Amino acid sequence: MLILLVAALPAHADVADMLQSVKPGVVGVGVFNPSGSPRANLQGTGFAVLDGTYVVSCAHIFAKPLDSEKKETHAVFVGRDRQITVRPAKLIATDHSRDLALLKIEGAPLPALKLGDSSAAREGWQLYFTGYPIGSVLGLNPSTHRAGLAAIIPIFTPLPSASQLTVRTLKQAKDAYEVFGLDAVAYPGNSGSPVWHPDTGEVLGVVNSVYVKGAKETALSAPSGISYAIPVKYVHALLKRALPEAK
């Protein structure tokens, strides 16, 4: 029994070590209002890619127009605990159908995460995602969750009758794609969190949304335990479209 326990330790240590290389590239995203209270409004999660001056997140986080009179700007928040640095950011590309967004930040580059090959992902893999499930309530401290890749499923499932079609389902049927079903609890602030492989640290998906029991307000009090992520191949496509010169 003792031998078995000792043999199991290196695997846990490897994940802990890999996490230390992933966390510096994970950031908060949202809006900065210089006259607001609070001034920094963290609304989700993002992660640095390419040369470290670009951040991937979810498009729905930036759906609300900025208030120019209040001099609001999109922003990326970096740091730890209550030591938060605001980095102005510009929204340069979106993929609304897959809810992805690409930001360009000002200043020095951040530690970039490596994008993997999501087409190689297999059901049953144990993955992890890192982000801000309850925003910055406890400071800028990201949480990491283990997430089994429970299923690779289509975003659109044929409906039994035409009467059940909606504008949303029609759009999904026209542009169907696969998502990763994760057997993990994610919260609204986790939107944009990178889903990464513990052996390589490569990002394979982006946490997109959570199935919620009942009303939206129950997301924290009664999470369903089911979440899904957009495969990172769609991030590759967004980068290629927005930055054709990037390699």
47-85 per-position pLDDT tens digit: 999 999 999 999 999 999 998 888 999 999 998 877 889
Nearest to 61 by CA among 197, 194, 208, 215: 208
Q: What kind and span of H or E run contains 168?
A: helix 167-174
Average pLDDT of the chain to the nearest whole number: 83
Does residue 212 surpass a pLDDT of 50?
no
Taking the model in full, what pTM does it have? 0.83
Q: How many Å apart are CA 224 and CA 214, to the nearest integer? A: 10
115-164 per-position pLDDT tens digit: 999 999 999 999 999 999 877 666 789 999 999 999 998 875 444 444 44
Residue 38: per-residue pLDDT: 80
Phi then psi dihedrals of residue 114, to 5 deg: -90, 130
Mean pLDDT across the stretch 27-43? 90
